[in-house]
């Protein structure tokens, strides 16, 4: 099945009992057993038919062994992190999502799970960070907000050589453009709040694992911790995913046009967009993904100028989040990445004048005119 078809026919595309082409929303919290222990579903935290349809769908889209749905991207990441024990060490991409950074440094630190942040686009930095107690490499590619690219297949070889789990946050690329399991990842996770939902109306997280052992371990954790996604939100995600392919195609086209406009504008000092050949990770990304996505970051030189742009735009909504039908704009230093200490932020290149946009589905001419007026 090709990608576009899979979005619509993957997973469990219709109700077996009624033929309904939209999966029913099962609100039941418990299920009648035909005798003790004789059941398909037992209790809705352990398993729910609507959630299961979504879990099957994301499993198919990522090409893994089993899928899991959680109440948010962070719930998904926290649950995955519960695969580790105190004393374990994890190597992570240095400009990970701010919430992931906070989880690792403020919450997991309490359980003595050790982390090292490195520029994972540089294989040598990872090699140097690996220690005897290292258990996993956790990456984002492209990263947020600098869109740095990590070579998935090279990380996979390194992970296999050292018997480490390879975990990839695939939120930015979506399963339509990138499938890390094909490149050797063991676990892929998503903030489904972004492109997968796509309409800024659901908070959710998804995980796909690539072995039965991981599937059993993560199901045990999902059921034990209980950070599951509800049936209504599961249904919303299934509906969102049906149009993921077509949204990503359009977003890809819009983003390239917006990036072309920005790169020529004199007020823009630096632009980060992996679709440009000059982008450091362009070649690697082109090799491992089918599209460059809708995220662009650009520097306008100072916080004052950035705030001015944010104030003047009409069609770019000033908001956290990304991946929606509506274009969004943000100031990473003050918003998504505010929990990262300033010194560290600047080290990473997340300057005060850095503006991040998530290109949506509006007419691209309107988007360009909007930015043009705001950059005057
Ligand atoms: C938003 C985001 C998360 C967190 O997901 P929530 O659904 O907000 O909990 C994790 N990783 C990335 C890359 C994100 O953009």
Task: Report the chain's mean pLDDT, rounded to a whole number.
Answer: 96
Ligand 1 atom 7: residue of nearest CA: 73
pLDDT at site 144: 87
**pLDDT band at 339; cut points 50, 70, 90:** confident
pTM: 0.96
* Catalytic residue flag (residue 60): no
In the structure encoding, which two tokens stand for residue 3, read together?
């990608």
Give per-residue pLDDT as tens, 92-149.
998 888 899 999 999 999 999 999 999 999 999 999 999 999 999 999 999 989 999 9
Give per-residue pLDDT as tens, 51-81.
999 999 999 999 999 999 999 999 999 999 9
In the structure encoding, which two tokens stand for residue 254, read together?
């819009």
pLDDT at site 238: 98
pLDDT at site 71: 98
User: Does 25 score more than 90 pLDDT?
Assistant: yes
CB of residue 233 inside a 6 A radius of ligand 1? no
Give per-residue pLDDT as tens, 208-243.
999 999 999 999 999 999 999 999 999 999 999 999
pLDDT at site 98: 85
Report in angstroms the alpha-carbon separations of 35 from 28, 29, 30, 31, 40.
19, 18, 14, 12, 12
Ligand 1 atom 12: residue of nearest CA: 97
CB of residue 298 inside a 6 A radius of ligand 1? no
- Give all domains of the chain, ordered by start, each with its CATH number: 3-242 (3.40.640.10), 245-375 (3.90.1150.10)
- For the segment 341-346, the average pLDDT, to the nearest whole number, is 88
CB 59 within 8 A of CB 65: yes
**pLDDT band at 345; cut points 50, 70, 90:** confident
Cα torsion 106, 107, 113, 114 to 10°: value is -10
Report in angstroms the alpha-carbon separations of 45 from 29, 128, 209, 227.
8, 41, 19, 8
Ligand 1 atom 1: residue of nearest CA: 191
- For the segment 297-304, the average pLDDT, to the nearest whole number, is 96
pLDDT at site 95: 83
**Which is catalytic among the residues 3, 4, 14, 45?**
45
* Catalytic residue flag (residue 111): no
């Amino acid at each position: 099945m090709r990608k576009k078809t899979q979005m619509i026919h993957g997973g469990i595309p219709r109700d077996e009992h009624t033929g309904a082409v939209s999966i029913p929303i099962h609100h039941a919290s418990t299920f009648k057993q035909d005798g003790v222990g004789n059941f398909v579903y037992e209790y809705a935290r352990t398993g729910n038919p609507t959630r299961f349809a979504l879990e099957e769908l994301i499993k198919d889209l990522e090409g893994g062994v089993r899928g899991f749905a959680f109440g948010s991207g962070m719930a998904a990441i926290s649950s995955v992190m519960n695969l580790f024990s105190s004393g374990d060490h994890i190597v992570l991409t240095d400009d990970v999502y701010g919430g992931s950074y906070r989880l690792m440094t403020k919450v997991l630190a309490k359980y003595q799970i050790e982390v090292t942040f490195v520029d994972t686009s540089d294989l040598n930095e990872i090699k140097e960070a690996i220690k005897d107690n290292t258990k996993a490499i956790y990456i984002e590619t492209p990263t947020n907000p600098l869109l740095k690219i990590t070579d998935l297949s090279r990380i996979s070889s390194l992970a296999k050589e050292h018997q480490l789990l390879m975990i990839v946050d695939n939120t930015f690329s979506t399963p339509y453009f990138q499938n890390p399991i094909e490149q050797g990842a063991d676990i892929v996770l998503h903030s489904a709040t972004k492109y997968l939902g796509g309409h800024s109306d659901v908070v959710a997280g998804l995980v796909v694992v690539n072995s039965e052992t991981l599937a059993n371990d993560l199901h045990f954790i999902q059921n034990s911790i209980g950070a599951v996604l509800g049936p209504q939100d599961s249904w919303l995600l299934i509906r969102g995913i049906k149009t993921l392919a077509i949204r990503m195609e359009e977003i890809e086209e819009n983003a390239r046009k917006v990036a072309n406009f920005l790169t020529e504008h004199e007020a823009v000092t630096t632009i980060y967009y992996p679709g440009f050949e000059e982008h450091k990770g362009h070649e690697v990304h082109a090799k491992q993904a089918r599209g460059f996505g809708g995220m662009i970051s650009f520097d306008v030189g100072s916080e004052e100028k950035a705030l001015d742009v944010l104030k003047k735009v009409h069609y770019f909504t000033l908001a956290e989040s990304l991946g929606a039908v509506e274009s969004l704009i943000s100031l990473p230093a003050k918003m998504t990445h505010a929990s990262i200490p300033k010194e560290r932020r600047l080290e990473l290149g997340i300057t005060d004048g850095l503006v991040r946009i998530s290109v949506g589905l509006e007419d691209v001419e309107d988007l360009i005119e909007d930015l043009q007026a705001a950059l005057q």
